Chain A
Amino acid sequence: MAELKLKQIKKTYDEGPTVIHGVDLDIRDGEFMVFVGPSGCGKSTMMRMIAGLEDISAGEVWIGDTLANDVPPAKRGVAMVFQSYALYPHMTVRENMAFGLKLAGKSKKDIDDAVTRASDILQIGHLLERKPKALSGGQRQRVAIGRAIVRKPDVFLFDEPLSNLDAALRVQMRIELTRLHQDLGSTMIYVTHDQVEAMTMGDRIAVFNAGRIEQVGTPLALYQHPANLFVAGFLGSPKMNFLPVSASIFGHSTSIRLPGGELLTLPGARAEGELTLGIRAEHLRFAEHGVPVMVELVEHLGDVQIVYARAAGQNEPLAVKLGSDSPAPASGSRAWLAIDTAQCHLFGPDGQAIRRTEH
């Protein structure tokens, strides 16, 4: 087990752009850290640099007390699970899991013990003599994790390990991975573009965008207090609604004018000018009066309903989350939305969140 420190990490390709722009991050010993972000945001590259599969253009990677920049991958005490599983197709499951230990010169007994222990944890004992092509996707995934476990790494690296699985299996493996983390207590770094995985699995989440970390924090902190427009829009489903507003300070509150001319008072906020109002779908509700909207679509998801309603002059419809038993207006009807002002977020012209004092 080990903590991991990233100091001003940069990655620039020879004839290409800079893909990581100075990332700083401390990952605590035993922590489950999730790197989340859209495709091409640099999260996988960051992980590959930690693994030693990519050179680090600038900055320092500390694993435990060791500066790992020039340490070869196998000596860093990391194990990696790949999105494609990357099982050696010509080797049996047992050989796949034993390969790393064999290269490390471990005795046959040690190898057998380690493979048995890992296959017990993952319940793949009956698959040990099979080749990868005779396994299902979920089984391959387990073997890939087993191959990581046998090496008893200080840090586990997971690169989108569940994205090739079907939805049901993904949920199951998500739970198993979380349990595995609790059992092993190892430091784990998990890359995903799936915000549900990020929210449910991570002790903390680092949201990546365009080669930078936008915000680091616990899932709930990120959800409730996004630092900027990107994080606010990325986490949460349906995504946060945004409205352009003009604000003026009014005593200890801010008065904001919605695009349709309606006025709202936000206690605890002090900002003025052209801003963006952010409001999550669950903080909007239909009322007798408020923001007039035209209902476009109602999605019934079983436990909840998502109503998409467009305010006058807006391109994007607003998403409203209702309980399954709440009455929802019919598509095509007119309705009024009430906004829970205590739960609103304000973002400045630079996209950064404007802090609200407790109210």
Chain B
Amino acid sequence: MEKTLPMPLAATAKKINMNKLAKHTLHYLVLTLLAVITVYPFWWTLVTALSTSGDVFTYPPRMWPENPGLDNFIEVFKTIDVIAFYKNSIIISVLTVAGTLLVCSMAAYPLARMQFPGRNIVFGAILATMILPSEVNFLVNFITVSKLGMGDTYTGVVLPGLAGAVGIFLMKQAFEAVPNDLVDAARVDGATEWQIFWHIMLPLARPALAALTILTLVAAWNQYIWPSIVMASPDKFPLSVGVLYLSGAFSFKIRVVAAGAVLTVLPILMVFLFTQRYFLRGFDGAVK
């Protein structure tokens, strides 16, 4: 037999349920609105790239492509050497990710695990760089890179960004979360500082390393201004820079540029989709 609640209790339960429902509805409305605002520019770009006719700037804007086709994408491949640009993007991204993981974790380890005078000052100074916009660095970095003879090289593009405050912060948090006893056990087992770092700390910081990989990959893949400053030869441009060739001085085919933009973001979007749980977990750890 079904139990019935006494009237006042049932009424309260109902009220709580209604409150919950109203709250959830509000949450979802707000989240949906935010999602639409965030996603719409991408959607518009995709619609524009896939349409083969009609006015680009109609108002209200189109939600679905008109005469959908891949003509614009084919034109992108005809106009620029997409494969070469992809290759450059991959080289720059891989070098940046590998370098960032190495430099940031090695910088974070002593900050997290060693006692030395001025440790907090050093960490504070590193954190302070977070409030500077990256454009501030361009001038100094450009002079440095040029003087080192690294202008127009992949190294020149990659090197200045390797030691980032976000990465050091993320790795420091991860190293601090490793129980002290493990380090002591390794020390009794005969591990040197480097071996503790390599055999114990790094494997245990894997979630943070994964998060940093994705963060760095997205940033490296999408960077535009810095590589266009350092790189002089067009055949070394990454895709994000090379795609600008689609809008020449005298021709401006907005659908083709949109197709180029889609080709640029597509790989990174795929990577992100498959790895977002690491991405979120890494941040989770950093916030706690």
Contacts and interface: CB of A to CB of B under 8 A. Distances in A.
Contacts of A104: 190
B135 to A, nearest CB: 40
A80 B185 contact: yes
A65 B179 CA distance: 34
Interface in A301-316: none
A79 B187 CA distance: 10
B188 A53 contact: yes
B253 interface: no
A171 interface: no
B189 A103 contact: yes
Nearest to B189: A100
Contact of B190 (A74, A86, A87, A88): A74
B188 A90 contact: no
B276 interface: no
A82 B189 contact: no
Interface in B185-203: 185-191, 195, 199-200, 203
B10 interface: no
Contacts of B186: 88, 99
A51 B204 CA distance: 24
A139 interface: no
Majority-rule SS of B interface residues = helix
Contacts of B189: 74, 99-100, 103, 147, 151
B188 A89 contact: no
Contacts of A78: 188
A59 interface: no
A74 to B, nearest CB: 3
B204 to A, nearest CB: 6
A99 B188 CA distance: 11
A171 to B, nearest CB: 25
Contacts of B200: 88
B190 A51 contact: no
B184 A80 contact: yes
Contacts of B199: 88, 99
A87 B204 CA distance: 12
Contacts of B206: 90
Contact of B188 (A74, A83, A84, A88): A74
Nearest to A157: B188
B181 to A, nearest CB: 4
Contacts of B188: 51-53, 73-74, 78-80, 100
B187 A84 contact: no
B182 A103 contact: no
A169 B137 CA distance: 61
Interface in A214-269: none
Nearest to B199: A99
B195 A84 contact: no
Interface in A88-125: 88-90, 99-100, 103-104
Contacts of A48: 184
B182 A73 contact: no
Interface of B: 179, 181-182, 184-191, 195, 199-200, 203-204, 206
8 contacts: A52-B188, A73-B187, A74-B190, A74-B191, A84-B179, A99-B186, A99-B189, A151-B189
Interface of A: 48, 51-53, 72-75, 78-80, 82-84, 86-90, 99-100, 103-104, 147, 151
Given A52-B188, A74-B187, A82-B181, 4 more contacts: A52-B187, A75-B190, A83-B181, A100-B188
The 5 tightest CB contacts between A and B, nearest first, are A74-B190, A100-B189, A86-B181, A86-B185, A90-B203
